[in-house]
Amino acid sequence: NAGVTQTPKFQVLKTGQSMTLQCAQDMNHNSMYWYRQDPGMGLRLIYYSASEGTTDKGEVPNGYNVSRLNKREFSLRLESAAPSQTSVYFCASSEASQGTYEQYFGPGTRLTVT
Amino acid sequence: KQEVTQIPAALSVPEGENLVLNCSFTDSAIYNLQWFRQDPGKGLTSLLLIQSSQREQTSGRLNASLDKSSGRSTLYIAASQPGDSATYLCAAHTGNQFYFGTGTSLTVIP
């Protein structure tokens, strides 16, 4: 199994450009998440989707939109990129199994906005 | 809002030493607590998950404990090796979200 995959791995954008980060999981999980990781800040939740067809804001949703395309795929869109969105973005998925909700992470997308 | 703290931020130990990493959280109403390892430039790898009803979990040289009443979890690494050098993060599952600490960067010196 591939687990959680993310594309692209690296991206450089100019201020004002838009892009979509793609995430897919093959574990049949209901819940999916987008995080950003910045030095000294830890991982902060941007948006999450508890199940297909639903999305909710996390701690830092401003400047982002998401789409839960189907059970497998959860995309993150930056409509007008800003230098403050330079970060490493991680997608994760989880599922209740015997009462647990263990999270599995993708390899990350390293985004630089100039 | 759940706040998760990891102390120390960095730790350097000689090879072979046993060590403890600390994680504290402010809201005891957690479903579980998960420990991760992150190597430089890589994603997060799950190490151990402790359900709220459990006190500890073990995997090889790793042992994680959970004390919900005091809002604390520890990750014990026995007989540390240079390959254990990485950043270790804990995450508390509260409500529909996971809240992460900022991590402890561990260096094991050969």
Indicate whether A99 pLDDT > 80.
no
Q: Compute the mean pLDDT over every residue in chain A, rounded to the nearest whole number.
A: 92
Q: Using the 8-state DSSP alphabet, how is residue B42 labeled?
A: S
* Residue with tokens 């999270």, as numbered in its chain: A103
Residue of B96, B99, B104 for testing the chain A interface, max A β-carbons within 10 Å? B96
Interface touch B97/A45, C-beta < 8 Å: yes
To the nearest whole angstrom, how far is the Cα of A107 from the nearest Cα of chain B?
4
Q: Which residues of A touch B23 (CB under 8 A)?
A: none
Q: What is the pLDDT of residue A98?
A: 59
Average pLDDT for B8-29? 95
Q: What is the pLDDT of residue B96?
A: 79
Residue type present at position A74: F
Residue of A43, A44, A48 for testing the chain B interface, max B β-carbons within 10 Å? A43
Average pLDDT for B18-47? 94
Q: What is the pLDDT of residue A101?
A: 80
What percent of chain B has a predicted confidence (pLDDT) above 70? 100
Write down the number of H helices and E strands in chain A. 0, 11
Integer Cα distance of A108 and B74 in angstroms:
27
Angle made by CA atoms B47, A35, A51, in degrees to the nearest 5: 90
To the nearest whole angstrom, how far is the Cα of B2 from the nearest Cα of chain A?
11
Kindly give, in sequence order, each residue whose CB lies less than 8 Å from that of residue A68, ignoring residues fewer than 6 positions away: A32, A49, A52, A53, A54, A55, A74
pLDDT band at A96 (very low <50, low <70, confident <90, very high): low
Residue in chain A nearest B103 by alpha carbon: A42
Average pLDDT for B69-80? 96
